[in-house]
Amino acid sequence: MIKFKKSIYRLVEKGSHGKKINLIFDYVIMSLIVLSIISIILESIKEIGSDFKIFLEWFDIFSVTVFSIEYLMRLYVSDLTHPTSNKFKSVLKFVFSINGLIDLFAVLPFYLPLLIKIDLRFLRTLRLIRFMRILKINRYTKSLNLIWSVLKDKKSELAVTGFVTLLLLIFASFVMYNIEGDKQPDAFPNILASFWWAVATLTTVGYGDVYPITGLGKFISGVIALMGIGVVALPTGIIGSGFIDRLKSDKNEEEQTCSYCGKTIK
Amino acid sequence: MIKFKKSIYRLVEKGSHGKKINLIFDYVIMSLIVLSIISIILESIKEIGSDFKIFLEWFDIFSVTVFSIEYLMRLYVSDLTHPTSNKFKSVLKFVFSINGLIDLFAVLPFYLPLLIKIDLRFLRTLRLIRFMRILKINRYTKSLNLIWSVLKDKKSELAVTGFVTLLLLIFASFVMYNIEGDKQPDAFPNILASFWWAVATLTTVGYGDVYPITGLGKFISGVIALMGIGVVALPTGIIGSGFIDRLKSDKNEEEQTCSYCGKTIK
Amino acid sequence: MIKFKKSIYRLVEKGSHGKKINLIFDYVIMSLIVLSIISIILESIKEIGSDFKIFLEWFDIFSVTVFSIEYLMRLYVSDLTHPTSNKFKSVLKFVFSINGLIDLFAVLPFYLPLLIKIDLRFLRTLRLIRFMRILKINRYTKSLNLIWSVLKDKKSELAVTGFVTLLLLIFASFVMYNIEGDKQPDAFPNILASFWWAVATLTTVGYGDVYPITGLGKFISGVIALMGIGVVALPTGIIGSGFIDRLKSDKNEEEQTCSYCGKTIK
Amino acid sequence: MIKFKKSIYRLVEKGSHGKKINLIFDYVIMSLIVLSIISIILESIKEIGSDFKIFLEWFDIFSVTVFSIEYLMRLYVSDLTHPTSNKFKSVLKFVFSINGLIDLFAVLPFYLPLLIKIDLRFLRTLRLIRFMRILKINRYTKSLNLIWSVLKDKKSELAVTGFVTLLLLIFASFVMYNIEGDKQPDAFPNILASFWWAVATLTTVGYGDVYPITGLGKFISGVIALMGIGVVALPTGIIGSGFIDRLKSDKNEEEQTCSYCGKTIK
């Protein structure tokens, strides 16, 4: 029994053990994830014939079955992957770990409508979470951690930038509502609508559905658009310096001490 | 009396003294600021029923009352927060300090219409200034100072970039007015209108309300749009190097001198 | 015979040998490339008279003839440029080298329709590949290699950024399809169409052909547009740090060792 | 006579001599430049009454008179500012120096129509060149030189980036013309029109006057828009590393040598 459990444990763990069966297992799951995303996209296209729709439904049932079996397997070996004092605690620890939740959301949208009445569209979007599993591929872990740690290093600066941006957006929408509200009651009926314009302008998206027509409004709009350059420049500069800082501190750890004066020499 | 004043002083000063009452005071003021901003936004939405409008008005009166009491408290203890030779000078020093002005603008728009006839819309926007108080939260002070000092370090380079951008905008609008003015008298009636196009193009907002239709106009427009890349790249590079420079100079201050050769060793 | 081959070899090789004839050969080929690109552009303009069209056709025949002769010359000296054990292997090595393929695609679109029936438009686009030869100009080789090596250094981080961007795009299009699909069946008929909106928003292009009209849709759209700032900031920061890293490692190689303590001194 | 010339020389040279008269002279010229730019902008606005138009014309005559006198003064002292073997050579040296040409273009557009028949619009734009004189203000010279030297340091990398961008634009317009040309003959009539779309997409301006409607066209468009991120990221990273590099080399010059081992210590 223990031997069987151990072989399942080896199977579901990441394919870094060099065994061929692990790699195949990994690739099958990854392919199923990508294919199931594509199948959801295809499902939404009305032009697709009903024959193909039935095939897509069958594929959905098949992929959920595989994901469910995998989830049960992971539940079964949770005392090996998440060792605690007793079996039940291990199960809970796995279920509420990030990986466990991602795996759960990959199958839950299928079973939930069978139990309770729920908005199907919202559920379908939940299925997308399974896509995040691809980020777990070994190869990218190091880079993902680097990017994550840079963002964490600079989170305070980025938060301030974000807050100033928010302040700017709110201020701009207030001003714009007061300036353009009378002239364009359809485009700027209230401050929320004005906020929509502010975001579209500051991020330089500029759909063109809402834009100022008065002279003063255009002036404010131009100022906001120019400030949009700073809104891009600040986080970029912060993130850039974060990457350089991290690369430097990685190197500093490799530094050695001068045997003569006892100080660090690069 | 002095004891009473001191307890008020401790209350209105930033909640870094570890006392629970200070933290509560801070959070109440912060919540009131955020709620009053939301209330101004909701006020502007016409769909909202009149019952709710009355509630919003009452909330406005309530929040201004709180802000007014807080302002009076700060005025009262201004000789402790801004010590000078006499009481009156301290009051003035507080009133015209940045924090004092922000606090004043948070309540002034409420009282001013009672005294003089004034444009209400402009006043409402002034109330937004109270939102800037959130930047005073302790946690962000260090990051805000860092960003500010980087922008100050590089203010000369950023000013030159800004000036060259302005030159480019003016030049582009003159050229465009001469090229497109005849063909699209509605879109490019004068150089000011042409300037609006120039800003929308250089910042890559591109609403789509004004765009060239002649071949030459499109060529100039394309050149301006491509230059827009440089307009983003230059300040970003400058700010990025500013952050790195500051991180480095922070570290250099921690450097020590080698006791042997008397030079700085990292 | 060998002498003749050597003189051809000297001719087709890059003009860095200081010989005037090589430089002339290079400039003629470069000019022909630029002119042939311009001729393809002019060919597409319907307003151009038939007389000029005939001239363009003759120019096309002329330029292809020159490129063909050059290709044959390179084939002829392939045992000198790509030395292997026998002549045939050298020819193959040249034909399937990047330079060889670029040269082949510069002439192939002309001959192919004479042999087999093929889509002419696709062929014409293939001719563009000849334009890549300009990148071979000596002067830019070092910079191109630097940029290339920076992108290679950071390929893992850039891939992760790209993947997270893709995830964001897919997630946004799913959500948007569910929100706006009912209200705007023409703009968001399926997830693929929704993906088109997501790309236009995240990259801040914002053509204005598709945009949300519901409140929730506008909120999601604003969030995506603001995330677009991060999508620009991350790769820029990564690439910037890559350039700085490379400049530093170039300098480090020039570092020397202190003869006293045996450690590296900058 | 020499004394008179010297006093004029002191007057027209940059106001860094601490003399009040120089500063006043500088500020008068600067104000006239800014005012004359504003007057050109106002001139273009049709709504402005004819009375004000006459005032603007008189102001134009006045400012040109002042600029002309200044130009004559600079011509007069050119043997002091541009010393050569004889007077005539000095005059020529000044006239064809960058500063001399800028000063000439500030007055030439006024006199030229008196001599020959010429397009007035083109002339008016030429007057803008006088605006460039503001860049000569002492305060910004250092920053302008820094930015300029960074761009010069990296000109080769920036040129390669620019060239790859051009290649991308040409390639995209060829492909798009072949894909969308049949479906939207008005938007993509030829490759030049397609190029206009390519620029608007790659720079993320996205006016919305031209956009793909076919599935394949949208796919290509999305790819180009995503590549636009790289087109911004590359020059930004290059310029950023250029600024850091220059700051570092400035510091390195201040480095000293260790008296013990004779090597450089930071």
Cα–Cα distance measured from residue D37 to residue D56, given in angstroms and rounded to the nearest whole number: 11
List of chains touching C (3+ CB pairs within 8 A): A, B, D
DSSP for B128-184, please give it. Answer: GGGGGGGGG-HHHHHHHHHHHHHHHHTHHHHHHHHHHHHHHHHHHHHHHHHHHTTT-
Q: Which of B167, B237, B262 sits opposite D132 (nearest CB)?
A: B167
Three-state SS at C211: coil
Facing C206 at nearest CB: one of D206, D232, D264: D206
Reading the block at residue D29, the tokens are 């010229």
Domain boundaries, chain D: 2-140, 155-265
Distance CA A149, CA A243 (A): 9
Choose between A35 and C23: higher pLDDT.
A35
Cross-chain CB nearest to D237 (options C131, C204, C243): C243
- The 3-state DSSP class for residue B256 equals strand
Residue of A nearest to C211 (CA): A207
* Mean pLDDT of the C121-125 span: 69
Of B229, B237, C199, nearest to D203 (Cα)? B229
User: What would the two tokens of residue A148 be?
Assistant: 């994550």
CB pair distance less than 8 Å for B208 and C208: yes
Kindly state whether A252 is in contact with chain D, defined as any CB-CB distance less than 8 angstroms: no
Pick from A10-19, A102-111, C205-214, D256-265: least confident: D256-265
User: How far is Cα C45 from Cα C27, in angstroms, rounded to an integer?
Assistant: 27
> What residues of chain C lie within 8 A of the CB of B207, using their CB?
208
Instruction: Give A208's contacts in chain D (Cβ within 8 Å).
Output: 207-208
**Per-residue pLDDT at C252:** 60
At the topology level, CATH places domain D2-140 in Four Helix Bundle (Hemerythrin (Met), subunit A) (1.20.120)
Provide the whole-model pTM. Answer: 0.84
Residue B190 and residue D142: Cβ atoms within 8 Å?
A: no
Give buried/exposed letters for D72-90 (b at 16+ CB in 10 A, else e).
eebbebbbbbbeeeeeeeb
The whole-number pLDDT of residue A199 equals 92
Contact A208 D204 (CB under 8 A): no
Other C-beta atoms within 10 Å of C58: how many?
Answer: 10
Identify whether the C-beta of residue D70 lies closer than 8 Å to the C-beta of residue D103.
Answer: yes
How many angstroms away from the CA of D50 is the closest CA of chain A?
A: 22
| Cα-based angle A14, A11, A72 (whole degrees, multiple of 5) | 100
Residue whose token pair is 């060998």: C2
Q: Please give the Cα distance from B242 to B171 (Å, whole number).
A: 30
Please give the residue of chain D at the shortest CA–CA distance from C143. D157
What ipTM does the predicted assembly reach?
Answer: 0.81
At residue B266, the pLDDT reads: 45
User: Residues in chain A, how many?
Assistant: 266
Owner of token pair 């949770």: A78
Contacts of B132 in chain A (CB under 8 A): 167
How much is the average pLDDT of C134-155?
A: 80
Window 37-96 of B, Cβ < 8 Å to D: none
With a pLDDT cut of 90, the percent of chain A lying above it is: 9
- Cross-chain Cβ contact B199/A211 below 8 Å: no
Subunits adjacent to chain B (3 or more Cβ pairs under 8 Å): A, C, D
Provide, as residue numbers in chain B, all residues whose Cβ is less than 8 Å from the Cβ of D157. Answer: none
> What was the pLDDT predicted at B199?
92
Mean pLDDT, residues C208-230: 89
- What element of type H or E holds B87? helix B87-95
Nearest-Cα distance to chain D for B162, in Å, is: 11
Q: Which residues of chain B lie closer than 8 angstroms to D203, CB-CB?
A: 204, 222, 225-226, 228-229
**Rounded to whole angstroms, how far apart are CA atoms D109 and D61?**
12
In this structure, the number of other CB atoms found within 10 A of the CB of residue A150 comes to: 25
Rounded Cα distance, D213 and D199, in Å: 18
Query: Strand C264-265 relative to strand D264-265: parallel, antiparallel, unpaired?
Result: unpaired
Q: Which amino acid is at C197?
A: W
Q: State the SS3 of chain A.
A: CHHHHHHHHHHHCCCCCCCHHHHHHHHHHHHHHHHHHHHHHHHCCCCCCHHHHHHHHHHHHHHHHHHHHHHHHHHHCHHHHCCCCCHHHHHHHHHCCHHHHHHHHHHHHHHHHHHCCCCHHHHHHHHHHHHHHHHHCHHHHHHHHHHHHHHHHCHHHHHHHHHHHHHHHHHHHHHHHHHHCCCCCCCCCCHHHHHHHHHHHHCCCCCCCCCCCCHHHHHHHHHHHHHHHHHHHHHHHHHHHHHHHHHHHHHHCCCEECCCCCCEEC
State whether A207 and D208 contact (CB < 8 Å). yes
The mean pLDDT value of chain A amounts to 81
Contact C239 D244 (CB under 8 A): no
What is the Cα–Cα distance from A110 to A98, expressed in whole angstroms?
A: 20
**What is the full per-residue pLDDT of chain D (266 aa) written as tens digits?**
678 888 888 777 755 555 677 778 878 888 888 888 888 888 888 887 778 888 888 898 898 899 899 889 888 888 888 888 888 888 888 888 888 888 888 788 788 877 877 776 666 677 777 777 766 665 677 888 889 899 998 988 898 899 889 888 988 888 888 888 888 888 888 888 889 999 999 998 888 888 999 888 999 899 989 988 888 889 998 998 898 888 777 666 554 455 555 555 54
Q: Residue C264 carries which side chain, given as an amino acid letter?
A: T
Higher pLDDT, A122 or A108: A108
Q: Is C265 helix (H, G, I), strand (E, B) or coil?
A: strand
- CA distances D154 to A72, C140, C245, D161, Å, are 57, 12, 16, 11
- Other Cβ atoms closer than 10 A to A39: 16
User: Span A185-198, mean pLDDT?
Assistant: 89
Q: How far apart are CA C102 and CA C136, in angstroms?
A: 11
Size of interface A-C (CB pairs under 8 A): 140
A37, A150, A236 ranked by CB distance to C236: nearest: A236
Domain D155-265: which CATH number of 1.10.287.70, 3.40.50.10190, 3.20.20.70, 3.10.20.30: 1.10.287.70
Please, what is the Cα angle at A245 between D256 and D152, to 5 degrees?
Answer: 65
pLDDT tens string A228-249: 888 888 999 899 889 888 877 7
B227 vs B222: CA distance, rounded Å: 9
- Does the beta carbon of B264 lie under 8 angstroms from any beta carbon of chain C? no
Q: Under an 8 A CB cutoff, do A208 and B208 touch?
A: yes
Tell me the average pLDDT of chain C. Answer: 82
Given an 8 Å threshold on Cβ–Cβ distance, is D191 in contact with C244?
A: no
Residue D190's Cβ-side half-sphere holds a number of Cα atoms within 13 Å equal to: 13
The answer to whether D147 contacts B160, with C-beta atoms less than 8 Å apart, is yes
Which of B156, B238, B263 lies closest to D256 in CB terms?
B263
How many whole angstroms separate alpha carbon A247 and alpha carbon C241? 8
**From the list A144, A238, A265, which residue is nearest C160 (CB)?**
A144
The answer to whether the CB atoms of B46 and A236 lie below 8 A apart is: no
Helix (H, G, I), strand (E, B) or coil at D146: helix
Q: Which residues of A touch D244 (CB under 8 A)?
A: 244
| Residue A49 pLDDT > 80 | no
Reading the block at residue C40, the tokens are: 């393809």
Q: What is the pLDDT along chain B (266 residues), one digit of tens a residue?
A: 678 888 888 777 755 555 677 778 878 888 888 888 888 888 888 887 788 888 888 998 898 899 899 889 888 888 887 888 888 888 888 888 888 888 888 788 788 877 877 776 666 677 777 677 666 666 677 888 889 899 998 988 898 899 889 888 988 888 888 888 888 888 888 888 889 999 999 998 888 888 999 888 999 899 989 988 888 889 988 998 898 888 777 766 554 445 555 555 54
The separation between CA C51 and the C-alpha centre of its own chain, rounded to angstroms, equals 34
Instruction: Return the pLDDT at D266.
Output: 46
- Neighbouring-strand partners of residue D264: D257
Residues in A closer than 8 angstroms to B204, CB to CB, are 204, 206
The per-residue pLDDT for C191 is 87
Give the model's confidence band at C199: pLDDT under 50 very low, under 70 low, under 90 confident, else very high. Answer: very high
Say which DSSP state D186 is in: T
Q: Are residues D208 and A208, on separate chains, in Cβ contact within 8 Å?
A: yes
* A266 pLDDT above the threshold of 50: no
Q: Are B209 and A205 a contacting pair at CB < 8 A?
A: no
**Binding-face residues of A in 156-215 toward D, CB within 8 A:** 204, 206-208
Measured CA distances, A135 to A72, A144, C159 (Å): 22, 8, 11
Which residues in C lie closer than 8 A to residue A139 (C-beta atoms)? 156
| pLDDT tier at C80, thresholds 50, 70, 90 | confident
**Closest-CA residue of chain C to D214:** C193
Q: Does B229 touch chain D (CB under 8 A)?
A: yes
The minimal CB distance from B236 to the residues C207, C208, C236 is found for C236
Give the neighbours of chain D: at least 3 Cβ pairs within 8 Å.
Answer: A, B, C
Residue C169 has, within 13 A of its CA and on its CB side, a CA count of: 22
Backbone angles phi, psi at C262, to 5 degrees: 75, 10
Which of D170, D222, D229 is opposite residue C232, by nearest beta carbon?
D229
- Which of these, B152, B143, B2, lies nearest to B77 by C-alpha position? B2
Chain B: give the shortest CA distance to residue A142, in Å. Answer: 24
* D140/B163 CB distance under 8 A: yes
- pLDDT, tens only, C13-38: 755 555 677 778 878 888 888 888 88
Quote the CA–CA distance of C252 and D9 in Å, as a whole number.
51
- B230 near C CB under 8 A: no
Structural contact between residues A265 and A256, judged by C-beta atoms closer than 8 angstroms: yes
Partner residue opposite C204 with nearest CB, options A41, A144, A204: A204
- Assess whether pLDDT exceeds 70 at residue A191: yes
Q: CA A86 to CA A63: how far, in whole Å?
A: 32
Per the CB < 8 A criterion, the answer to whether A173 and A225 are in contact is no
Portion of chain A with pLDDT greater than 70, in percent: 84
What's the burial of A109, exposed, middle or buried (CB within 10 Å: 0-12/13-18/19+)? buried
Distance CA C74, CA C8 (A): 8
Residues in chain D closer than 8 A to A236 (CB atoms): 236
CA–CA gap between residue B118 and residue C199 (Å, rounded): 46
Which of C199, C242, C258 has the CB atom closest to D261's CB atom?
Answer: C258
Record: contact C147-D161, CB cut-off 8 A: yes
Closest residue by Cα to residue D136 from D241, D255, D16, D224: D16
Task: Look up tokens 């950024």; give the residue.
Answer: C161
- List the single residue in D with minimal CA-CA distance to B163: D135
| D240 has a chain A CB within 8 A of its CB | yes
| Core vs surface per residue D148-181: b (16+ CB within 10 A) or e | eebbebbebbbebbbbbbebbbbbbbbbbbbbbb
Angstrom distances, CA of residue D152 to CA of B233, D149, D159, D239, D246 = 15, 5, 11, 10, 11
For residues A63-67, give the mean pLDDT. 89
- In 3D, which of D37, D35, D15, D36 has the Cα closest to residue D25? D15
Question: What is the Cα–Cα distance from D221 to A231, expressed in whole angstroms?
Answer: 26
CB pair distance less than 8 Å for B207 and C208: yes
Q: Which chains touch A (3 or more CB pairs under 8 A)?
A: B, C, D
- Minimum-distance CB partner of D204 among A204, A236, A266: A204
